[in-house]
Amino acid sequence: MLRHLYRCALRLHPPEFRRHFGEEMLSIYDHSTERLLSLGLLLDAIVSLGRQRIWRSEFWLQTSRSSMPQPAANAIPSFSSLAPFRPHTSAMIHGMVISITLFCVTCFAIRDSWIHILRVQIPAVSYDSDLSIHPGASLSAARGKPTSAMPDGKTKSDSGSNLIPEPLPVDVLPADAQASTLAAANRKSNTPAEPLAAAVATLQLRLDSYVGTSVSHKPNTKIAVGIEGDHLTIRLVGWPKRALSPVSETTFLVAGTNDQWVEFVPDSNGKMRQLSLFQNGDSITAVHQ
């Protein structure tokens, strides 16, 4: 693979240089047995390629006087380039190939970088179109007041359907307090409270479908899912209560971790009938009671 890339790098060198030294450079490459050394030689060939293409004067054509832009008839000078050179056509083509190659390599590196290897999951953000809040705003922003300083409160249960897949803040206002604060804020700003209150109520309805205690027989443990403010929480025996951040409608990350998440399995009515907790490569499957 590296040898093939090295050959490609050699092929992109100027034809004269390649004819003269290409085979010998390849013979030197064939002497390298270590992968690291081969990689170094490949980088060396790429640097050499840049040097040959950029600094070698034979790749720049001297523009003739006749082709230079002449002043216009009304004595206003026309535009001209700074240097009396223009790149050779082959240099332009090679430059284009190198640019495209570098672009592809960069895209590939971004896609398969160490971030991917470490399984850092970036939640996909999408918005439910039936909500009347602005699509770009978070729920906290929609409420119009910062919520981090508010105390925790009781939860409210109703049936619901879908969840808004948005990373939600952990320290939030209790649901009842949220509604009254929201109404007060809206009254103050002379805006209609109904759409935003409806949004909060819809969210509450949807979260309720995940709530409940699930039992696992292997290992023998219970997993409790509840609501705190506008987000779900999970509690396992031996665990502190943790907040859940939605990644999709059925997948939630355990807050503060990168490798622990919960997957819910809904029944035909939309109620969750089973959940699986994944952590450190293991999983616990529990059935809702």
Partner 1 sequence: MPIDPHQYLPLSPATLHILLSLAGEDLHGYGIMQEIGRQSDGKYKVGPGTLYDNLEKLLDREWVEELGSRKSDDDPRRRYYRLTAAGRRVLAAETARLAGVVREARARLQLAKPRRA
Q: Give the pair of three-digit tokens for residue 156.
A: 């409210």
Residue with Cβ nearer partner 1 (53 or 242): 53
Rg (CA), the chain: 32
Q: Please state the closest distance from residue 103 (CB atom) to partner 1, in A.
A: 22
Residue with Cβ nearer partner 1 (4 or 31): 31
Q: Which of 3, 44, 185, 201 binds partner 1 (CB under 8 A)?
A: 44
**CB contact at 8 A, 119 and 259:** yes
Q: Which of 12, 38, 49, 272 binds partner 1 (CB under 8 A)?
A: 49
Helix H or strand E encompassing 184: helix 175-188
Tally: H helices and E strands in the chain: 8, 10
Burial of 172 (0-12, 13-18, 19+ CB in 10 A): buried
Q: Which of 3, 7, 8, 17 binds partner 1 (CB under 8 A)?
A: 17
Q: Give the number of other CB atoms < 10 A from CB of residue 75.
A: 6
Q: Please state the closest distance from residue 41 (CB atom) to partner 1, in A.
A: 6
Task: Show Cβ contacts of residue 91 under 8 Å, excluding neighbours closer than 6 positions.
Answer: 53, 59, 60
Residue with Cβ nearer partner 1 (12 or 164): 12
Q: Which of 2, 23, 105, 158 binds partner 1 (CB under 8 A)?
A: 23
> Which part of the chain contacts partner 1 (CB under 8 A), choosing from 17-25, 151-159, 167-175, 253-261?
17-25
Interface residue list for partner 1 (CB under 8 A) = 17, 20-21, 23-29, 31, 40-41, 43-49, 51-52
